[in-house]
Structure 1
């Protein structure tokens, strides 16, 4: 244990705490909004938020200690954004929980069985980003729609975000949340909160599963988790010189997601954005000692998760437009990145646009939402277009050979 604690440093402490604060505060509203949309009660939403935070905290601590690398773990923000576009499935939140468990099981299998992992990774990057962009577009319109409904609250929230983003991008969403919380609490009657609202125990939900939930929730959630989070998270680590084996990391995060899913957690995965805070030189000049920053972040996540009921209690008394506005602002960066990546390749541009439009439309067939159909239509167009390009290239090569 002595060598372990000798690697600890003040910079690792500050980087880890910053990572936990930014990771939790910048997206917890998206998690709660997503869980509520698919049928969770306030107690179940608080349980899901708590267990997701505790699961990603423990996963980050265990993985970082095991591999002596800054292996940050996060909840599935793109997945929660996807849930926020849905409605409660037939059968209620129990069916959603069953879909969470199936997505987690597929993630475990993807890490252990390379053919499935390669299949998930084989989804063209432009189409995966297009599906994410289509999911995010309606959510990112919410801040501006809220300005038309309640400008006295929505406009100060937007201004706080815009001003702070020019000073420190990492603190923009925390600033917006602070302003939103002050404005909401200021308008409450005395005694609006009871002490019991500040703590809520985990709520176990007996999972169920339907075919519609498999195609409409579990499979899109698995694809988003793999393409938008796990693959990106491993890439961030490699950019800082760390080369862990991806399979065991993905499987372990899938296991933690599976264990926490019956309590409402939508899933955890390798972190991408906050991974850079823990893996960069600011955490420690020595790359071999930076793993402590991910350990500190994990501890921070777990502690903040235990107070999840406070966040849910505040959100429960806030107007829905305020919650949607904060969540939309938190997703603007992800929308910009996914839009740029989805149309960067000219050969996939049309297929990507079709994927975005169908996904954003909210169309539903057989109880299956637009994300599945958008990806399916985009993949068909992409396969057609690339087949034509390959054929044209082959014919040109044959003519040149003659």
Structure 2
């Protein structure tokens, strides 16, 4: 028998046209002045206008907050909460990738709790839930639309921190694959690899369970099959839908099984160097798998099998090598080339990055708990 495990998820509507249901849900939540949290890229793609028009047609008065950057900052969450109060908003709709959705979650809890956003860092530190939250993802990767995580950048320390709470789970996720057609190729690649890392880390997490395994391994299979295909044929609706479905599956897995060293290290990198999160994950995955493998060989064997590696024909060491090579070849096939050093990473940064990563809550469920010198070496290997 397994230890007790809980599983949390929002109400999910998946499929083409899901975005068009946003106004109906906002009305059902009693909205009059809904707040749309988004970013400039999503606005330029036309999705903000579409959502705003849908809300207006229902007699609502939407207010748009688009001051969200990649790796959302603590002050942006505070500004968003002030915007929410000043405009007498009552429901939040997050439209975009992980950054707007993470920021929207933080805005929500700041609007109902008299505390600074940094005070919520850690697990189960949110006393009062935020207002109703509807998430509409426009990328197939972050899975913030189904997770109990919000990742915010502490700008004083240049360090990302995690707010992990059941109150961070959105009320509704409207997952519409059509929104991903406006992603450029590199964003498609980075968010797809982000979803893969979510699934792999959930699969080998010490908090995994048969329930999360259902989602993690299916996500791995779908991503390995469809990410290269969507890169070659970005207008193919089937591949886009499969990647969006994989992202959802990976999110349900990691939200409930948590993550590991890849994310702990990526949060550290993103906070210090402002590298896109999915790109960080893609560049770190191989080095972390090589570090972890000996502590969870049977779990990684299942991961390798889901990646279509012929594990029955290989020894344990052979599986480890094949898995590392598969990760590397997939990353390069989708166009994420080079290493951390080509993104501005230097040897001089490693000490600080390693300290920040070691204190990240995602490290708690990594299959191998490292010491500081080991994390430094993993960073060095990814240079």
User: Shorter chain as normaliser: what TM range?
Assistant: under 0.3
TM-score norm. by structure 1 comes to 0.23
Instruction: Say which one has the larger Rg.
Output: 1
TM-score norm. by structure 2 comes to 0.24
More helix by share: 1
